[in-house]
Structure 1
Amino acid sequence: MLKCFKLRLVAVIAALILCAGTVLAQDLPGIDMQRWTDLANRAEASVDEGNLDEGLLETYRNGLAAYRDQFEVARSTNASRINSLRAQISMLGTPIAGLPEADEVAFQRRELEEQLVMLNAPVMVADTAFARTNGLINEIDTLLRARKTDALIKRVGSPLIPANWPAALGIFNGALAQLWNEVGPEGATERRAEFMANLQVIVVAGLAGLLLILMGQRWSKKIVARFNRQSDGSGVNVWRFVLSLLRIVFPLIGLALLSFAMFTTGYLGEMGEQIAVIIPLFGGLMLCFRWVADQVFARNDEDALILLSQQERAQARLMVCGITLFFIANILVVHILEMDGADVSVVAIVNFPLTILTSYCLYRMGQVLRRCGSETADLEDDELTRASTLARVVRSLGTLSIGVAIAATVSHILGFYNASSFILLPTILTLITLGLVLTLQRFSADVYGAISGTGKLARESLYPIFFGLILLMLAVPLLAIVWGARVADITEVWAAFRRGFSVGNSRISPTDFIYFAVIFSIGYVATRLAQGALKTNVLPKTKIDKGGQNAIVSGLGYVGIFLAALVAIMGAGIDLSSLAIVAGALSVGIGFGLQNIVSNFVSGIILLVERPISEGDWIEVSGGQMGYVRDISVRSTRIETFDKTDVIVPNADLISGTVTNYTRGNTLGRVIVPIGVAYGSDTRKVEAILREIAEAQPMVLANPAPAILFMNFGPSSLDFEIRMFLRDVNWSVAVKNDVNHAIAERFAQEGVEIPFPQQDVWLRTAPKPVPHDENHQTDEPAGRGIVQRADGYLTMDASEDDDDGDDNGDTSDSPIDGDGGA
């Protein structure tokens, strides 16, 4: 039998090799394997050479990335069928060495294994191709990053060396001359004819463009000012923001018209046409920078987004204008020199003055930002907290701006032009981007205020923070590109994010989380709807008491949420079996740390199932806390005391401790009213009076009838008790109040006295020493008697003498204070 098993194993392995070889020789479904192989071979050769153009490497990378996505899909081919076959094989069990296996079982196992081999073959090919493609992409990315790093640390000629100036300025003058020569007399006849043919269009477009450029800003300001005077309401800030965009739209349209007029003349050469194309782009960039500065450093204190004085905000707006102007001039100069094929050393020398001016404006801007939040005396505490948080961030950006301005200037002086440009221009774009995020956050708050009707109060809510986080997340890819990341790097991160991560034998991707969230949300909403239907429509029509209804509703909520989570996990395809060992290890530590919480949780379930107490019950727990049960949750129970305070009692204390439930099952309860009468009173008469009073109470039950009991012969009174059963024990205090008032009135009418404690106090002093005389005997008493009268005063017996020895027999009265002293 062992020999037969070995033969079957060899046959399966041979079939696996045969099938794998067959599939490797063929294309995967929907994938041209031969074309992929050629592309992969060329990419490997290019990476091995290491000196190809970056554009060609990017082309190879994009092609490989497309194939990698196809292989990623092919890796899951026949996944459900493969899992089914593996489950069937596992159900057959593992063959035991030395023991024979039934022929039917062995035949079925062999068939299933052969099918599994056939289905696994394309998956193996896809896995191999995916690994090769992904490796090539990583190698290309590494090579491109290394080249960029080498370019950053490359040192060119210093602009402070005078010997380098003539050559650089000559090349720059040559580029400008070439740009002008393209508009020269060559082809003048044809150009003039084209110009005259389009003269009307050129004049109209040019004049309209100039008019919009010169007057667009003024027109937009007038429109906004007129709107501010005529509008009022929760949506005024939204429309004000939208209308402020006209400050960009009007001049930008003018620049586009002017660029179109320049194109139409026909006098522009190749370089001139490229400059005309980028004019609207640069103009739009400048307008956007200016608009963001006007929003962040607004002239109106109420609309300003950063806490600065008016003078500081005006200075900040001026610095932004300078930075924008020099920034665009820098880019334009670089573009002209690159079109002429100038070397980077020439660009570094020509751009040095612009770098100095840009760095100076950035340095001044950093100084302004570092003063943010200095004027906070007039703010409230909550506004001061938010302002201080934003001020710390702004001051940090100011410090960063100062450091970048200094570092960029020093790097450019030392000859590291690429490093200087790498830190200077991205810093400016980062500040503008963050200002735009802050502006859009305010706009989103205004939109929410207009929708909700809260107006400017929406700016102080939590929603602007939520919107700000979303905007920051959207700005992260843009900032990454600004700081030198390639688009391919962003797409690579997104591709890795979509592929997910492995946990044991399972791979969890963002789509799994989306499926989980959607399914759980549906289950949660369905559970809440079922709870609402039960609570309002179904259970009130039954004979179940209120506590039982609340228990059913709560139990349905817990079961529904648990089932929703379970179905969501299954629907998302998350395999938790691989986490069983980890979960088991963690459960031990969690069990020790959270045993009280688990105990309260189990106790809460017991309370809901057993229902010793229910919502609305009047209970008293250990410690003397008394009140009504208002809510029974999983961990604790909330009791509302009679003074309208909430007491949170852990459920475990209710299960293990002593609880008195005054209204369990029904509201019937007994109340006892004690009363004492003076000695000598007619006890039968007192009993009859008390019975009449008790029977006259509307809340007292006639059956069982009230009981009047003569309890004790007290030290100062004859003690009686009225024992009454009430229809609703919740009214016990009110019934006691009415009964006591009735007793006081009837006893006054019937002449029955309610005594108060009385007591005689005798104080004894030590015997007074008397001289002994053999011939005279004295009758001096051993002590003096002091009697406490009914009015609370001490009086001395008249037969006794004063301390001075005279026998005048006078007495003295002295009141007793609260401490019992005379």
Structure 2
Amino acid sequence: MQGQPAFVTKAIAALNEAWELAASWLTSPAAWSQFTLLVASWLLARLAAKRLAPQLARMIGPKPGATGAIATSRRFVLRFLPLLLPLLAYGFTAIGEAFTRQVFGSGAVIAFGKRVFLLLAARIFVRDMLRDPFLRRLGRYVLIPVMAVYALGLLPTVTAWLESLTVELGNIRFSVMALARGAIAGSLLFWLGAWSNRQSTGYIKAQGALRPATRELAMKATELAIFGAAFLLLMSIMGIDLTAIAVLGGALGVGIGLGLQQIAANFVSGIILLIEGQTTVGDYVELDGGEKGTIVRMTARACILETFDGRWIVVPNEHFVTTRVVNYSDQGSANRYEVAFSVSYDTDINLVPGIIAPAVAALPFVLAAPEGPDVELRGFGESGVDFAVEYWVNGIDDGRNKYASQVFYAVWNALKAAAIEIPFPHRVVEIKGGLK
């Protein structure tokens, strides 16, 4: 035994002690009586569960096809019915434990049996009730091993050993037990935070009365609050003094002031955009820098624009606050466009508005309000008389809509039907001195 690590020595000593305990149980009438009581409790629990489970299912279960929060809660409670058998066995064993301790003055075997019943309950809980893949893995690799160690009565020994092992990170020292506790608690807290965030996001998105910008702001504020609370709670569970977080926050503030001004400016600009709501997801915008497209996503740092050719442009939020932004959408308002054309100088230009305006107005996407098509004389060009027809549409003239293309077709067909010539450039070349 000399030269062995301390943990191996303790493990061998624990195994020897367990073997001696098992041998003493095999030769002890009190132990056999407790074994008999455990078997009787299990058989009685099976009989009781077989009779009670159908009745509880009828009492708790909702009516077929029922919906709503109450029906959902009842279905959730029904998922716990498989725990009825081990919990009844645990309860019956606990009742008999008081009797055996009074008669024999010992209850070690029956206490072991109770812990085994709890292990069975944990196994059923993980196998039959946990449906989320992450929670099921956590239960399989954390809960069941811990309950198995507890059933063997080794949990205090293992806990003390993990507490004695330490990990040093500079001047900070953690025990392995604290790290394990923090890892498990952190996993549960951030899973719960992600689940809560999904639920709150779905609820906020369903509120049609709120503006899209308000919904985005509410979702981001809720996400920040949920994960901020989870982080602070995790620090408390791990035993980290929260005053250290205050020091870290001060250092972070100095860092933002010195080297992260643009990130801070974009973050604040993003909050301003969400509060004002003048630009939101779905709007078609054009910035002074030439960037233009439909806003498909707004983040804490930037807005993402999708161009007509499917490309994404990431524009920092600060640009929407400090530069001129043209919003063509404004939640579905109409937009005015124009198409230029020319007619020959031989044309009676007084007839042109009466020909072009009805042809453009007949297009299904052209609006009559706020104003119908308007034909304007723009000037006298080198080759012909220049006109332009102005029209209003709902939406943006882009690669999907192609409003201008259809208006050009309408102008062409209308002029051809009226036998009006569309001029093209002519050049007259005069040769002085004659040809030789």
TM-score, with structure 2 as normaliser: 0.56
CA contact (8 A) 1:667 1:730 kept: no
Aligned with residue 614 of structure 1, among 280, 289, 292: 280
What are the within-5 Å matches in structure 2 for residues 101-500 of structure 1? 494-497=162-165
Q: Which one of 181, 196, 202 corresponds to residue 532 of structure 1?
A: 202
Q: Which residue among 188, 198, 203 is the counterpart of 1:518?
A: 188
Partner residue in 2 for 1:624: 290
Secondary structure of the structure 2 residue equivalent to 1:509: helix
Match among 242, 256, 260 for residue 594 of structure 1: 260
Q: Describe the shift of the 1:568–1:611 C-alpha distance in structure 2 as closer, same or farther (beyond 3 A).
A: farther
Deviations 1:262-298 (A, max 9, x none): xxxxxxxxxxxxxxxxxxxxxxxxxxxxxxxxxxxxx
Relative to total residues, which structure has the larger strand share, 1 or 2? 2
Cα contact 1:699–1:728 (8 A) shared by 2: no
Match of 1:713 in 2: 380
Distance of aligned partners of 1:56 and 1:554 in 2 relative to their CA distance in 1, 3 Å threshold:
closer
Distance, in Å, in 2 between the alignment partners of 1:579 and 1:605 is 24
Cα drift, residue 702 of structure 1:
1.6
Could you report, residue by residue, the CA deviation over 1:479-519 in whole angstroms, capped at 9, with x for unpaired residues?
xxxxxxxxxxx999844446888978999932245434422
Residue of structure 2 equivalent to 1:658: 324
Contact 2:217/2:271 (<8 A) preserved: no
2:416 paired residue number: 748
Cα-to-partner distance string for 1:122-169 (whole Å, 9 max, x where unaligned):
xxxxxxxxxxxxxxxxxxxxxxxxxxxxxxxxxxxxxxxxxxxxxxxx
In the alignment, is residue 724 of structure 1 matched against residue 391 of structure 2? yes
Task: Give the deviation of 1:689 after TM superposition.
Answer: 0.8
Q: Do the aligned partners of residues 500 and 493 (structure 1) sit closer, same or farther apart at CA in structure 2, a change above 3 Å counting?
A: farther
Conservation of the 8 A alpha-carbon contact between 1:512 and 1:573: no
2:341 is aligned with 1:675: yes
Amino acid of the residue matched to residue 614 of structure 1?
T
Report the Cα distance in structure 1 between the residues aligned to 2:425 and 2:332, rounded to whole angstroms: 40
Q: Secondary structure at the match of 1:627?
A: strand
Question: What's the CA shift string for 1:735-775, capped at 9, x where partnerless?
Answer: 211111111112112121222233445xxxxxxxxxxxxxx
For residues 356-401 of structure 1, the C-alpha deviation after alignment (integer angstroms, 9 at most, x for no partner) is: xxxxxxxxxxxxxxxxxxxxxxxxxxxxxxxxxxxxxxxxxxxxxx
Shift of 1:577: 0.9
Query: 2:358 maps to which residue?
Result: 692
The answer to whether the 8 A contact 1:517-1:568 is kept is no
CA distance in 2, matches of 1:660, 1:745: 34
SS in 2 for 1:623: coil
Match of 1:105 in 2: none
2:315 aligned counterpart, secondary structure: strand
- The offset of 1:665, in angstroms, is 3.0
> Does the alignment pair 1:736 with 2:400?
no
* Conserved? CA contact 2:283–2:329, under 8 Å: yes
**What secondary structure sits across from 1:539 in the alignment?**
coil
Map Cα deviations across residues 208-255 of structure 1 (whole Å, 9 max, x no partner). Answer: xxxxxxxxxxxxxxxxxxxxxxxxxxxxxxxxxxxxxxxxxxxxxxxx
1:670 Cα deviation after fit: 0.9
| 2:111 corresponding residue in structure 1 | none
1:672 CA displacement: 1.1
Cα offsets for 1:575-612 (capped at 9, x unmatched): 22145445534542454232222222222222222222
CA offsets, 1:24-49, max 9 Å, x none? xxxxxxxxxxxxxxxxxxxxxxxxxx
What is the CA deviation profile of residues 507-564 of structure 1, one whole-angstrom value per residue up to 9, with x for unaligned ones?
A: 99322454344223312321222212332xx324x3x344544443344333333333
Q: Residue deviations 1:604-631, cap 9 Å, x none?
A: 2222222221111111223322221111
Distance 1:58 1:519, change over 3 A: closer
What is the letter of the counterpart of residue 631 of structure 1? R
**Partner SS state of residue 726, structure 1:** strand
Q: Is the 8 A contact 1:705 1:724 kept in 2?
A: yes
| Cα distance change of structure 1 residues 736 and 657 upon mapping to structure 2, 3 Å threshold | same
Aligned partner of residue 697 in structure 1, secondary structure? coil
The TM-score with structure 1 as length reference comes to 0.31
Counterpart Cα distance in 2 of 1:57 and 1:525 = 44
Deviations 1:72-95 (A, max 9, x none): xxxxxxxxxxxxxxxxxxxxxxxx
**Contact 1:503-1:578 at 8 Å conserved across structures:** no
C-alpha separation between the residues in 2 aligned to 1:591 and 1:709?
A: 56
Residues 733 and 710 of structure 1: is their aligned pair in 2 closer, same or farther, counting only changes over 3 Å? Answer: farther
Corresponding residue for 1:552?
218
Distance (Å, rounded) in 2 between the aligned partners of 1:501 and 1:742: 76
Q: 1:743 to 1:506 in 2, by over 3 A?
A: same
The AA in structure 2 aligned to 1:713 is F
Q: Aligned letter for 1:721?
A: A
Structure 1 CA distance for aligned equivalents of residues 342 and 357 of structure 2:
15
Change (3 A) 1:545 1:674: farther
Map of 2:59 onto structure 1: none
Counterpart code for 1:738: Q
- Structure 1: distance between partners of 2:4 and 2:226: 57
Between Structure 1 and Structure 2, whose CA radius of gyration is higher? 1
Paired position in structure 2 for 1:638 = 304
Shift of 1:641: 0.8
Distance 2:5 2:295 in 1: 73
What whole-Å deviation, never above 9, does each CA across 1:433-476 have from its counterpart, x for those lacking one? xxxxxxxxxxxxxxxxxxxxxxxxxxxxxxxxxxxxx9xxxxxx
**SS state of the match for residue 692, structure 1?**
helix
**Partner SS, residue 358 of structure 2:** helix
Aligned equivalent of 2:250: 584
Q: Percent identity?
A: 28
Q: Is the 8 A contact 1:618 1:662 kept in 2?
A: yes
Query: How far apart in 1 are the matches of 2:222 and 2:251?
Result: 31
Give the unaligned 5+ runs of structure 2.
15-140, 142-157
Rounded Cα–Cα distance in structure 2 between residues aligned with 1:55 and 1:646: 66
Task: Provide Cα deviations, 1:106-126, integer angstroms capped at 9, x if missing partner.
Answer: xxxxxxxxxxxxxxxxxxxxx
Q: Would the aligned equivalents of 1:513 and 1:572 in 2 still touch at CA under 8 Å?
A: no
Aligned CA distance change for structure 1 residues 57 and 498 (closer, same or farther; 3 Å): closer
Distance 1:649 1:584, change over 3 A: same
Contact 2:166 2:173 in 1 (8 A): no
The CA deviation string for residues 637-684 of structure 1, in whole angstroms up to 9 with x for no partner, is: 111111011111122222222221110133311111111112231111
Q: What is the rounded CA distance, in whole Å, between the counterparts of 1:680 and 1:553 in structure 2?
A: 65
Residue deviations 1:770-819, cap 9 Å, x none?
xxxxxxxxxxxxxxxxx2xxxxxxxx446464xxxxxxxxxxxxxxxxxx
Provide closer, same or farther for how the CA distance between residues 677 and 567 of structure 1 changes in structure 2, counting only shifts above 3 A. farther
Distance, in Å, in 2 between the alignment partners of 1:530 and 1:651 is: 25
What residue in structure 1 maps to residue 112 of structure 2? Answer: none
Extract unaligned runs of 5+ from structure 1.
1-52, 67-469, 471-489, 762-786, 788-795, 802-822
Aligned residue identity for 1:724: Y
CA distance 1:679–1:799, change in 2 (3 Å): same
Contact preservation (8 Å) 1:616, 1:629: yes
Q: Cα distance 1:655–1:493, how it changes in 2: closer, same or farther (>3 A)?
A: farther
Asked whether the equivalents of residues 193 and 230 of structure 2 are also in contact (C-alpha less than 8 Å), the reply is: yes
Distance in structure 1 (CA, Å) of the matches to 2:265 and 2:200? 28
Structure with more relative contact order (C-alpha pairs < 8 Å, separation 6 or more): 2
- In 1, the alpha carbon distance for the partners of 2:199 and 2:243 equals 32
